[in-house]
Structure 1
Amino acid sequence: MRHQFSERISPGMLSCLFSYLNIGWFGIPIVQAVYGAEGAAIMTAFYVGGMLFGNTIGYSLATADGGGLAKGLYKLVKIPSIYAVTLAWCLRLFAPGSSQFILDNFASLLTLGGLLTSVCGMGLVGMSIAHTHFRNVPWGVLGRLLGLRFVCILLLSFGLQSLLLPLDFITPMDAKIYLLFAALPIAANLLVFSAKDDRARAEYELVGIALFSSTVLSFVLLLVAIELPHFFSF
């Protein structure tokens, strides 16, 4: 698989296509619609972990172009989300009542912000194929990539929830959400990460079509994934 994409995409970006999921713009709204506030709260916790991974390790992998540790750290300190999470942790630690104050006074703004973020994220998905030459897309290889990605994530998430649920490390709701991960599309942030320079145009186009294809596929896969828990006793 890596050999087939070697001329169009970096190994680091290929790894991110498998590991960086669109939890925030896609996963949270879907889970909230299906499982309500409880599911959305759990998915939000997953989103924080995914965001930290994607904007640190994922960003470093996707934009790896040499420069060593110093350059990698310099890239990381430019990521705004790291400071947002740090601020949230500080407020929670030193001002425990601040979260409830924010919810009580700015709930409508947070809801609006979440809606706009989701809409803009889906807009970015559409823009990802604006300049793609569809005749040049290696559809066979792309199909195998998305298929292998789905199988790998499904096996991993199913294995984890099967192991952790009997031990009471996770709740039945957690287990249901675990099974949705394989159906989630590739994170739209990767399109931003791939827009490095003109030399990376081929990578940008391939990431764009992979992102778009995985998003369209997710609408079908999620219908199946949401029904899967009914076949199991949790």
Structure 2
Amino acid sequence: MEILLPFVYLLFGILVGKKQLKVKTFSSFVLTKMVIPLIIIWNISLNSEEMVLVIVLAMIFMLSIFFFRHWMERDVINNLCFCYLNIGWLGLPIAHALLGDTAARFVLGAYIGSSIVGNSIGANYLKKEVFSIKNILTSPPVIAFIIGCLLIPFERSVEVFGHHIYMISKFLMSFLGMMILGIWLSETSLDKSDFFVYAKSYAFRILMLSAIVLIAFVISQILNSEFVYQQLPWLFLICVLPPAANIIVLETSYLGTGTTASKISVETILSIAVIVVYGIVIHSLSL
């Protein structure tokens, strides 16, 4: 039953959107300003070493892909959609439901790293003004990361007194994240021709990211390391995620346009279908 819960929340969001209930703004505020920062603080304070490594690797990986794409094509929005994925609202709830807390911690690290880089690229390449470090340092993921680091010496107290808050936050992250995604899907009108165009870009990204993961796996096997092998489930999950919904916010804020809405919506629908298959495979392998 747990494997189906994220999609139940998604369906609930679609129904809420059809009823035109005005809960998206408030739910987004609760999720981005409170719930996800609490999840970050908990995991950083209790799992600092492994989390920092994943955060740094995610930042390096995302920057490398962006600048490679930017070298080939100067369309910043397109390139941002290629490397800035929906790890927070979609990846984290799915990772918790399908793969458990351990994998979700690594996905959370990837979310923090990608969020920092995604907002940095947005500020640097989309905004017409001078790049502002202040905007990055005051973003909720970075503030939560700093607080989590400061709480590392008190990890035992955090674990004892923050456990119930964490469990509530974990549920709200899955519920609100998938519900908001469902509301967005219900509100976006799509052209049939969009599916074919965006399906090609989605499939290409899956192939490219999966190839990189497989290359890393082969290298780790040559070096007699099992690290990448142990991380394959969540690494392949990230490969099939759609572009981050936050890209629409960045585009609207810095360019005054919303051209990515249809692309993100189409790729999200395709991603959900792929994730259903992915979940069935993961569930079958675990039996």
TM-score by length of 2: 0.61
Q: Distance in 1 between matches of 2:216 and 2:137?
A: 32
Q: Distance in 1 between matches of 2:218 and 2:278?
A: 16
Q: Distance in 1 between matches of 2:189 and 2:87?
A: 28
Residue 66 of structure 2 corresponds to residue 66 of structure 1 = no
CA contact (8 A) 1:191 1:207 kept: yes
CA contact (8 A) 2:99 2:234 kept: no
Residue of structure 1 equivalent to 2:247: 190
Distance 1:30-1:72 versus aligned 2 partners, 3 A rule: same
Q: Where do residues 136-147 of structure 1 align in structure 2 (5 Å cutoff)?
A: 138-147=194-203
Residue of structure 1 equivalent to 2:266: 213
Per-residue CA deviations over 1:23-81 (Å, capped at 9, x if unaligned) read 22222222232232322233223233223322333x335x613223xx44354344232
- The Cα shift of 1:19 comes to 0.6
Q: Distance in 2 between matches of 1:211 and 1:60?
A: 20
Secondary structure of 1:160's aligned partner: helix
CA contact (8 A) 1:154 1:181 kept: no
Residue of structure 2 equivalent to 1:44: 108
- The Cα shift of 1:225 comes to 4.0
Q: Distance in 1 between matches of 2:108 and 2:140?
A: 18
**Aligned letter for 1:43?**
V
Residue 141 of structure 2 corresponds to residue 81 of structure 1 = yes
CA contact (8 A) 2:84 2:118 kept: yes
- The Cα shift of 1:18 comes to 0.8
Residue of structure 2 equivalent to 1:21: 85
Secondary structure of 1:210's aligned partner: helix
Residue of structure 2 equivalent to 1:34: 98
Residue 234 of structure 2 corresponds to residue 177 of structure 1 = yes
- The Cα shift of 1:169 comes to 6.2
- The Cα shift of 1:183 comes to 1.2
Q: Distance in 2 between matches of 1:111 and 1:207?
A: 34
**Aligned letter for 1:220?**
A
CA contact (8 A) 1:21 1:184 kept: yes
CA contact (8 A) 2:217 2:228 kept: no
- The Cα shift of 1:105 comes to 1.4
Percent of counterpart pairs with the same letter? 20
Per-residue CA deviations over 1:6-30 (Å, capped at 9, x if unaligned) read xxxx822211111112222222222
Per-residue CA deviations over 1:73-127 (Å, capped at 9, x if unaligned) read 35434423222212222332xxx2x233222212222222233233333344344
- The Cα shift of 1:156 comes to 1.8
CA contact (8 A) 1:121 1:188 kept: no
- The Cα shift of 1:155 comes to 1.6
Query: Unaligned stretches of 5+ in structure 1?
Result: 1-9
CA RMSD of aligned residues (A): 3.1
Distance 1:220-1:77 versus aligned 2 partners, 3 A rule: same
Residue of structure 2 equivalent to 1:109: 165
Q: Distance in 2 between matches of 1:29 and 1:18?
A: 21
Distance 1:124-1:36 versus aligned 2 partners, 3 A rule: closer
Residue of structure 2 equivalent to 1:118: 174
- The Cα shift of 1:174 comes to 0.8
Distance 1:138-1:33 versus aligned 2 partners, 3 A rule: closer
Distance 1:150-1:108 versus aligned 2 partners, 3 A rule: same
- The Cα shift of 1:211 comes to 2.0
Query: Unaligned stretches of 5+ in structure 2?
Result: 1-73
The structure in which a higher percent of residues are helix is 2
